Amino acid sequence: MNILEKLSAPDMISPGISACVGCNVELTLRTVMRIVGENSVLAIPPGCMGGVGVVGWDKLSGARVPVFFPLLTNTASMLSGLRLAYDRQGKTDTHVVAFAGDGASVDAGFQALSGAAERNDRILYVCYDNEGYMNTGYQRSAATPKGAWTSTTPHGKLQVKKDTPRIMADHRIPYVATCSPAYIADLVAKVEKAKANRDGFSYLHVLTPCVSGWGFPPEQSIEICRASVQTRYFPLYEVDHGQYRITVDVPKPRPLKEYVGRLKKFRQTTDSDLAEMQTLVERQWHELIALERATQDPEMARAG
């Protein structure tokens, strides 16, 4: 089955939700749920997708699967309970899915997320990362990169972005992957792997640039997503049962300025700041290459 046939599956999200024009989070959610399918239950905590009608409005649901609205802090815990309940009822093929922002994942909800991963509960957790608390006025989160403007860091955030995919991989869960709505075939392949995983926890981390919070024209939404990958700012890789693999290689990266310079949230960035960011990006890329080589080559892994 080719990618177009896979994407022709029924849409599990109803038309007409009130996401912003150019929002790639809606595209990501629709893509994920087309692949996961109707035999699923969906948790969407407070955040952008929680506020656009997906979890319901006036006693109606914006999803064609059971959907509920957990707290910002307990999404993974509630899904862990649902997994146990479905398994006890013999409904082991039902998928329990989280679609949560970075605030509900890498920040306020990280304790629950880490706990579920440490227990290796069989849930599929998708973090859509727009690098801040967007639907409440754009406050900084642990996912906000160093130097970025937010309403609570008006002179630029001082700390570097938390590398949550690497942290989740260090939980030794069966499957971790980074994804981008600019690379739909890669996203679909990773959702399929996460859906097929019967060994425990699956975690997908999707960078989803925000039109209003980051400051770029709506029609450039997918191009901004693509630039984040092609500058190596957001590398696409997977960790499948401990083995790292870069899934979209970028042998000749575009200068980071081609990404950062298009975003108003980095408008105060100096040449010195940009050079520091470029150094960090390249270091993280080469760390990823080293992890790929070490986990794919047993001899190298022993030497390390």
Residue-level pLDDT at 96: 98
Rounded CA-CA distance 142/5 in Å is: 38
Q: What is the dihedral of CA 43, 49, 51, 52, to 10 degrees?
A: -120
Nearest to 247 by CA among 256, 233, 235: 235
pLDDT value at residue 251: 96
Asked whether the beta carbons of 47 and 101 are under 8 A apart, the reply is: yes
What is the distance between the alpha carbons of residues 66 and 55, in angstroms, rounded to a whole number? 9
Domain boundaries, the chain: 3-303
Condensed to tens digits (0 to 9), the pLDDT of residues 221-252 reads 999 999 999 999 999 999 999 999 999 999 99
pLDDT digits (tens, 9 = 90+) for 278-290: 999 999 999 999 9
Q: Is the pLDDT of residue 59 over 80?
A: no
Give the residue among 67, 64, 76 at the shortest CA–CA distance from 100.
76
Q: What is the mean pLDDT of residues 16-30?
A: 89
Tell me what pLDDT residue 304 has. 46
- Tokens 């509920």 identify what position? 68
| Closest listed residue to residue 79, CA positions, set 54, 91, 96 | 96
Q: Is the predicted pLDDT of residue 203 greater than 50, yes or no? A: yes
- Structure token digits, residue 149: 């403007």
Higher pLDDT, 86 or 298: 86
Query: By the 8 A CB rule, do 31 and 39 touch?
Result: no
Task: Give me the pLDDT at residue 93, please.
Answer: 97
pLDDT beyond 60 at 302:
no
User: For residues 140 and 152, is the Cβ–Cβ distance under 8 A?
Assistant: yes
pLDDT tens-digit map of 262-274: 999 999 999 999 9
Question: What number is the average pLDDT over the span 86-107?
Answer: 97
Q: So what's the pLDDT on residue 62?
A: 86
Render pLDDT for 126-156 as a digit per residue (tens, 0 to 9): 999 999 999 898 999 999 999 999 999 999 9
CATH class of 3-303: alpha beta
Task: For residue range 155-170, list pLDDT tens digits in order.
Answer: 999 999 999 999 999 9
| Model pLDDT, residue 299 | 59
**CA-CA distances (angstroms) from residue 43 to 37, 40, 129, 223?**
14, 10, 16, 29
Check if the beta carbon of residue 222 is closer than 8 Å to that of residue 24: yes
- Identify whether the C-beta of residue 123 lies closer than 8 Å to the C-beta of residue 88: no
